[in-house]
């Protein structure tokens, strides 16, 4: 609860024998922040004959007693309560494959491009190019952002560890917190099985300020979904394959429309991954 002190006053009163008394009052408001916000009022009254020395002693006694009384009222119960996240552990989906939660359009187009002729050559070239970009992004983040670890923001580190375990990712990505007034999260969406060069996930400081721990983990799950599905690889491959078609009438607009629908379907796939991580609707 929250304590609010209101100053009282002194009032001269007389008893039946005509003796002068001083009534010293102090009002304490205890507000229950964890409950319904109801205010509990406590009025402390001390009666004492109007004698300066005795009155001073009464005031000193009041000042000595009040902190203990307030502390006893405001000290929370010794019993500890666990958060909803600590009280339940999400189920680990061992052996889950990206095809099991992909959106149908995302799954169909990914299969089409992965089985296309010379797709291995194209994917290898894209992976090399993206790895160079990823290395540059990593160096920039190391110099300007906070790298989450067991020693730095351990709760967030535990969150991404759990999310990666649920989606059965062999290598846990590196998580960075970037200072920004905009709530955002992103990844290069290229899953890397090399433990020395793990994938990168970035969340902004504004996102952490605005979202609960469970919401942040769901957002991390969404980004891990991009990695699990290798969206950067296949969407880049799809964009390169559709480039020659864009110059053709009718066919070009259809190719652009299909590519936009694929990007949207990829986001739906990652929303499913977020749901699998949070396991809470």
Reference 216, options 197, 201, 195; nearest CA is 201
* Burial of 48 (C-beta count, 10 Å sphere; 0-12/13-18/19+): middle
Based on the residue annotation, tell me whether 134 is a catalytic residue of this protein.
no
* Burial of 77 (C-beta count, 10 Å sphere; 0-12/13-18/19+): exposed
As a whole number of angstroms, the distance between CA 175 and CA 202 comes to 6
Dihedral angle sign, alpha carbons of residues 144, 147, 152, 156: positive
Catalytic residue among 162, 214, 223, 261: 223
Q: Report how far apart, in Å, the C-alpha atoms of 66 and of each of 51, 52, 76, 101, 117 are.
A: 22, 21, 17, 61, 83
Which positions are annotated as active-site residues? 223
């Amino acid at each position: 609860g929250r304590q609010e002190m209101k100053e009282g006053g002194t009032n001269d009163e007389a008893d039946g024998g005509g003796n002068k008394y001083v009534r010293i009052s102090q009002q304490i408001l205890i507000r229950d922040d964890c409950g319904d916000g109801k205010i509990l009022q406590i009025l402390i009254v001390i009666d004492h004959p109007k004698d300066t020395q005795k009155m001073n002693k009464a005031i000193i006694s009041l000042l000595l007693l009040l902190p203990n009384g307030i502390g006893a009222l405001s000290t929370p119960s010794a019993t500890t309560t666990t958060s909803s996240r600590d009280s339940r552990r999400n189920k680990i989906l061992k052996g889950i494959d990206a095809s099991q939660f992909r959106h149908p359009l995302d799954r169909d187009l990914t299969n089409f491009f992965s089985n296309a002729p010379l797709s291995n050559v194209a994917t290898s070239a894209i992976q090399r190019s993206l790895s160079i970009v990823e290395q540059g992004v990593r160096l920039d983040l190391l110099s300007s952002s906070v790298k989450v670890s067991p020693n730095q923001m351990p709760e967030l580190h535990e969150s991404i560890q759990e999310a990666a375990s649920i989606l059965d990712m062999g290598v846990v990505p590196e998580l960075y917190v970037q200072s920004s007034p905009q709530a955002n999260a992103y990844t290069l969406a290229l899953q890397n099985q090399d433990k020395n060069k793990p994938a990168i996930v970035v969340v902004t400081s504004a996102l952490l300020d605005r979202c609960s721990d469970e919401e942040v983990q769901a957002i991390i799950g969404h980004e891990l979904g991009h990695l699990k599905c290798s969206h950067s690889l296949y969407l880049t491959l799809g964009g390169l394959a559709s480039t020659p078609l864009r110059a053709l009438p009718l066919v070009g607009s259809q190719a652009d429309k299909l590519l936009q629908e694929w990007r949207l379907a990829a986001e739906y796939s990652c929303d499913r991954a977020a749901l699998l991580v949070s396991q809470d609707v």
